[in-house]
Amino acid sequence: MSLRRRQHVLSIAAALGGLLLFAWAARRAGISEILDGIQRVGWGLLPLFALAGLRFAARAEAWRLCAPRGRRMRHAQAFAAFLAGDAVGNATPLGWFASEPTKVFLTRHHFATADSVSSLAIDNLLYISSTAVVIAGAGVIVMATMNLPLVWREWSSVVLAASIASVIALVWILRGGAGLAGAFPSAWQTRLTELRGSFAAFSPGPVQVAQALLFDFGFHGLAVVEAYLSLKWLLGSASPTLREAFLFEALNRVITVAFKFVPFRVGVDEASSGALAPLLGMDPVVGVSLAVVRKVRNLFWAGIGMAVIAAHPAQAAPAMDPRGNAPARRT
């Protein structure tokens, strides 16, 4: 079976599996109850859309800061390319393997390909680091404050350990450390060497790295605010806590990382949020409804991202200098 055919089979299998899981989660929570919850949100979707837009803007600015000063895109260019890349990554089972090339393609008229690839590599490392910190923080909160069933406690311990290990490994990569390379397969060693070389040759500097990380943490913070507002409207007379909103968002980060191959995480997000809700003293329908509201937000911004792709000029990229490092003429 060819690679392209395997990709199509994977796409279909992931989509069907997600739809089946969504149907199970919706039926278990109650379809009419989910619809009632969405109606309670009502026009609240508009501020949720706006918060999501601010989150995307924060991520785009973090990416922009990962390029050295004087070689950066304009804010609007980075924002449009990020939206389009996120839309493609969400809509296909290829995830980052589709979203990152899309960003490179859409910025080729304004940003040299080598610059774009290097800045994206640094941006993704910083974003993964911030995500690992958020997940680790949620793991600490869960272990310290919740009386979980044994299976949940075991999985929380695994996720916490993996998050801490990820942060340590990423710091090691960014610092260009050695000594652990022999533990990786040869293909991974080559990739790690390329990443270290990229960071060393293209490093935007410690101040810019710190600023990019602040925007990444701002992205996570706005997501917690979005989850809090959604829960507030879904719960009606009851009021959520920031802790509950943070745990729902941390779970969403875990699901996004682990199930990026499922288009829009259909079904997986609903089932996991529905399972977390009772552990926080909520009806499962609240968790499922929260995931559905997020899905509506994702579809809205994905539509805008696809519109960016459709409106993008299709002419060839500008000529590069002999080393392929910069366009011969910038626009």
Residue at 8 is within a domain: no
3-class DSSP assignment, residue 238: coil
Which of 82, 19, 78, 18 lies closest to 260 in space, CA to CA?
Answer: 18
**What's the token pair of residue 220?**
């996570």
Q: How many CB atoms lie within 10 A of CB 199?
A: 20
The answer to whether 114 and 138 are in contact (CB under 8 A) is: no
3-state secondary structure of 320: strand
Determine the 3-state secondary structure of 4 from DSSP: helix
Residue 183 counted as domain residue: yes
What is the rounded average pLDDT of the residues 131-135? 90
* pLDDT for residue 48 is more than 80: yes
Domain annotation covers residue 304: no
Q: Is residue 105 part of a domain?
A: yes
Q: Which of 57-61, 67-71, 197-201, 275-279 shows the lowest per-residue confidence on average (mean pLDDT)?
A: 197-201
Give the per-residue pLDDT at 175: 60
Average pLDDT for residues 243-260, to the nearest whole number? 92
The pLDDT of residue 199: 63
Long-range contacts of 249-253 (CB under 8 A, 24+ apart): 249/134, 249/220, 249/223, 249/224, 250/134, 250/135, 250/137, 250/138, 251/138, 251/276, 252/223, 252/227, 252/294, 253/131, 253/134, 253/135, 253/220
Q: Is there a domain that residue 90 lies in? A: yes
What pLDDT does 55 receive?
A: 97
Within 10 A of 178 (CB to CB), how many other CB atoms are there? 11
What per-residue confidence (pLDDT) applies to 323?
A: 44
The domain total for the chain is: 1
- pTM summary value: 0.83
Could you give the CA distance from residue 134 to residue 191 in angstroms, rounded to a whole number?
26
Q: Round the average pLDDT of the chain to a whole number and report it.
A: 82
In this model, does residue 280 exceed pLDDT 70? Answer: yes
Which residues face 327 on adjacent strands? 320
Say what the pLDDT of residue 328 is: 40
Question: In this predicted structure, what is the pLDDT of residue 81?
Answer: 94
Rg (CA), the chain: 21
Among residues 96, 47, 59, the alpha carbon closest in space to that of 297 is found at: 47
Q: What percent of the chain has pLDDT over 70?
A: 81
**DSSP, res 282:** -
How confident is the model at residue 201, as a pLDDT?
60
Q: Which of 81, 115, 116, 114 lies closest to 99, judged by CA?
A: 81
Question: What is the end-to-end Cα distance of the chain in Å, rounded?
Answer: 44
Residue 329's pLDDT is 41
- The confidence score (pLDDT) of residue 144 equals 84
* Chain segment 194-241, per-residue pLDDT in tens: 666 666 666 667 788 899 999 999 999 999 999 999 999 999 878 899
Judge whether residue 176 has pLDDT over 90: no
Q: Are 46 and 229 in contact (CB under 8 A)?
A: no
Q: What is the dihedral of CA 87, 89, 92, 97, to 10 degrees?
A: 150
- The reported pLDDT for the residue numbered 331 is 38
* Residue 154, domain extent: 47-298
38 lies in some domain: no
201 domain residue, yes or no: yes
In a domain? residue 270: yes
Burial of 267 per CB tally in 10 Å (0-12, 13-18, 19+): buried
